[in-house]
Structure 1
Amino acid sequence: MNKAMIAALMSAFICPGSGHFYLKRYNTGTLISFISLSGLVYLLYKAVERAQAISDRILSGEIPLDVNVIYQHISQVPAGDDSQWINIATFTFIAAWLVGIIDAYRIGKLLDKQQAS
Structure 2
Amino acid sequence: MNNAVIAALMSAFICPGSGHFYLKRYNMGTLISCISLSGLVYLLYQAVERAQAISDRILSGEIPLDFNIIYQHITQAPPGDNGLWINVATFAFIAAWVVGVIDAYRLGKQLDKQQAS
Report the TM range for the smaller structure's normalisation.
over 0.9
Counterpart of 2:65 in 1: which secondary structure? coil
- Aligned-partner Cα distance in 1 for 2:65–2:80: 27
Alignment correspondent of 1:95: 95
Partner AA of 1:30 in structure 2: T
Amino acid of the residue matched to residue 100 of structure 1? G
Q: What is residue 48 of structure 1 aligned with on the other side?
A: 48
Report the 3-state secondary structure (helix = DSSP H, G, I; strand = E; otherwise coil) of the residue aligned with 1:79: coil
Task: Establish whether residue 60 from structure 1 lines up as the match of residue 57 from structure 2.
Answer: no
In structure 2, what residue type is equivalent to 1:9? L
Please list every run of 5 or more consecutive structure 1 residues that lacks an aligned counterpart in the other structure: none
Cα distance, 1:57 vs structure 2: 0.1
Is 1:83 the counterpart of 2:80? The answer is no
Query: What's 1:28 paired with?
Result: 28
Instruction: Name the TM-score, length of structure 1 as normaliser.
Output: 0.99
CA distance in 2, matches of 1:52, 1:79: 15
RMSD: 0.4
Report the counterpart of residue 110 of structure 1 in structure 2: 110
User: Identity, % of aligned pairs?
Assistant: 84
Any idea what the Cα deviations from partners look like across 1:73-105, whole Å, max 9, x if unmatched? 001111220000000000000000000000000
Distance 1:16 1:101 in 2: 7
* TM-score, normalised by the number of residues in structure 2: 0.99
Query: What corresponds to 2:6 in structure 1?
Result: 6
